[in-house]
């Protein structure tokens, strides 16, 4: 380095796992220079002699990775469903639980009764578990209100969390998550409300960064989802889709036709779905937590994603019903053991490809000049150890936008 570089901080003394291009791309004994929360230089420590920094941190070993990205969560909700989990394990069917008033409608009732402050408080406890394991960016969906006021209250809670937490928090409107009880016999009526009133309101009040829907036989049809997505596009809101989790409805191809950021779950995605995703740049978000808890047997078509070069992201899908997961790192192991991803693919799934699934790949997801300085130091020898260890909170030092947390 010929010219002197002044910055706020420099971090060195560890191998830097940059995840540039979705691969480890390790800089041995690297250094990262940060100014105003952005990486301004990255390279080998031996080449950093001309960096002048107000603060210097020597990690004395270990590895540095990009901050982890949880690109699909449902962390804001009222109540919990641990009782139902116990009931199912004692032989009570989901249909029986639903007949007793349980299932998603139990969460809807609890969420509708909660204030914004209550939603923020309960979600914050859950989110802090994820942040302690190196998550620096996450997406949170609405979808448990299922009426205008409650959906808006959920999105307001997400925006409040974004102001309170040392993380980048994105909000997604998932009003088309399930048919509200008031619209049981007229689901198109709820789609009318979403398109005509709810989406324009959240756009005007800047309450959401994207719009999602659940395309499934027990939720909404491709035609209904298309109406929601068309309205979102008119309003300039990007879209993403729960697709192919329980059946093959062609939801992934539908999402791709709307240039969706991502299609998520995808156990039943077909080759034509994958081709469409590749053509339109739609990321495949795999959710092993729900696959595990529901004891699914239909694997997502990982080989097809590889063949057609569709980026694969991973997420916790943290929710009260099918994936009460508070460890994104555990999802890395599940993705490798259940879905046969490699450790490198898994880590890419919660870094660069997670950023792609949120439309943030230009600023997040890898350690490169010009990107936000959100990274994590781990006292480990190899990045595969992040995937290898089961359970237990690995010690780590989180740096979010250039500041140690």
**For 306-338, how does the pLDDT look when each residue is reduced to its tens digit (9 = 90+)?**
999 999 999 999 999 989 999 999 999 999 999
Average pLDDT over residues 29-42: 98
Lowest mean pLDDT among 21-35, 97-111, 117-131, 305-319: 97-111
Q: Are residues 31 and 138 in the same domain?
A: no
Question: How large a percentage of the chain has pLDDT more than 70?
Answer: 99
Q: Are residues 208 and 78 in the same domain?
A: yes
Residue 303: CB atoms within 10 A of its CB come to: 11
Q: Are residues 30 and 128 in the same domain?
A: no
Q: How many domains does the chain have?
A: 2
Range of the domain at 27: 5-67+366-404
Looking at residue 348, which CATH number applies to its domain? 3.20.20.140
Q: Are residues 81 and 184 in the same domain?
A: yes
Q: Which residues are part of a known binding site?
A: 72, 74, 81, 144, 177, 242, 245, 317, 319, 321-322
Where are any strands of DSSP class E within 177-209? none
Q: Are residues 276 and 386 in the same domain?
A: no
Residue 227 has pLDDT above 90, yes or no: yes
Looking at residue 28, which CATH number applies to its domain? 2.30.40.10
Q: Are residues 118 and 254 in the same domain?
A: yes
Q: Are residues 320 and 399 in the same domain?
A: no
Q: Which residues are part of a known binding site for Zn(2+)?
A: 72, 74, 242, 317
Residue whose structure tokens are 């996450």: 138
Q: Which residues are part of a known binding site for 4-imidazolone-5-propanoate?
A: 81, 144, 177, 245, 322
**For 179-189, how does the pLDDT look when each residue is reduced to its tens digit (9 = 90+)?**
999 999 999 99
Average pLDDT over residues 160-170: 98
At residue 359, what are phi and psi to the nearest 5 degrees?
75, 25
Q: Which residues are part of a known binding site for Fe(3+)?
A: 72, 74, 242, 317
**Burial class (CB within 10 angstroms; exposed 0-12, middle 13-18, buried 19+) of 4:** exposed
Give me the pLDDT at residue 2, please. 58
Q: Are residues 229 and 99 in the same domain?
A: yes
Q: Are residues 350 and 374 in the same domain?
A: no
Q: Are residues 350 and 379 in the same domain?
A: no
Average pLDDT over residues 142-160: 98
Compute the distance between CA of residue 191 and CA of residue 177 in angstroms, rounded to an integer: 11
Radius of gyration of the chain (CA): 21
Q: Which residues are part of a known binding site for N-formimidoyl-L-glutamate?
A: 144, 319, 321
């Amino acid at each position: 380095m010929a010219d002197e570089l002044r910055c706020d901080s420099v971090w060195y003394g560890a191998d830097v796992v940059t995840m540039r291009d979705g691969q480890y791309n390790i800089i041995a004994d690297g250094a990262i220079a940060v100014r105003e929360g952005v990486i301004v230089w990255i390279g080998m420590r031996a080449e950093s002699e001309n960096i002048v920094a107000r603060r210097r941190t020597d990690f004395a070993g270990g590895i540095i990775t990009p901050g982890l990205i949880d690109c699909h969560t449902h962390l804001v909700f009222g109540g919990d469903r641990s009782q139902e989990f116990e009931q199912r394990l004692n032989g009570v069917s989901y249909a029986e639980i639903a007949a007793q008033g349980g299932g998603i409608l139990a969460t809807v009732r609890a969420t509708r009764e909660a204030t914004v402050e209550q939603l923020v408080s309960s979600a914050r406890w859950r989110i802090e578990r994820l942040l302690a394991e190196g998550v620096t960016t996450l997406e949170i969906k609405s979808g448990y209100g299922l009426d205008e006021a409650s959906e808006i209250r959920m999105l307001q809670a997400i925006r409040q969390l974004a102001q309170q937490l040392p993380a980048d928090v994105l909000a997604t409107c998932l009003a088309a998550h399930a048919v509200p009880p008031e619209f049981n016999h007229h689901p198109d009526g709820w789609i009318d409300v979403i398109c005509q009133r709810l989406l324009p309101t959240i756009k005007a009040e800047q309450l959401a960064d994207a719009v999602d829907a659940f395309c499934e036989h027990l939720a909404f049809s491709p035609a209904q989802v298309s109406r929601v997505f068309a309205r979102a596009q008119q309003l300039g809101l990007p879209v993403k889709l729960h697709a192919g989790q329980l059946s093959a409805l062609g939801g992934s191809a539908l999402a791709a036709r709307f240039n969706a950021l991502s299609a998520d779950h995808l156990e039943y995605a077909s080759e034509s779905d994958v081709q469409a995703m590749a053509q339109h740049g739609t990321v495949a978000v795999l959710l092993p937590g729900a696959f595990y808890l529901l004891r699914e047997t239909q694997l997502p078509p990982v080989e097809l994603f590889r063949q057609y070069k569709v980026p694969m992201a991973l997420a916790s899908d943290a929710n009260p019903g099918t994936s009460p997961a508070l460890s994104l790192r555990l999802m890395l192991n599940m993705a490798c053991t259940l879905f046969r991803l490699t450790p490198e693919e898994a880590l890419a799934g919660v870094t660069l490809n997670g950023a792609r699934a949120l439309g943030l790949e230009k600023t997040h997801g890898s350690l490169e000049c010009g990107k936000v300085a959100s990274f994590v130091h781990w006292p480990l020898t190899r990045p595969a150890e992040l995937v290898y260890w089961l359970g237990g909170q690995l010690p780590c030092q989180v740096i979010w936008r250039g500041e140690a947390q």
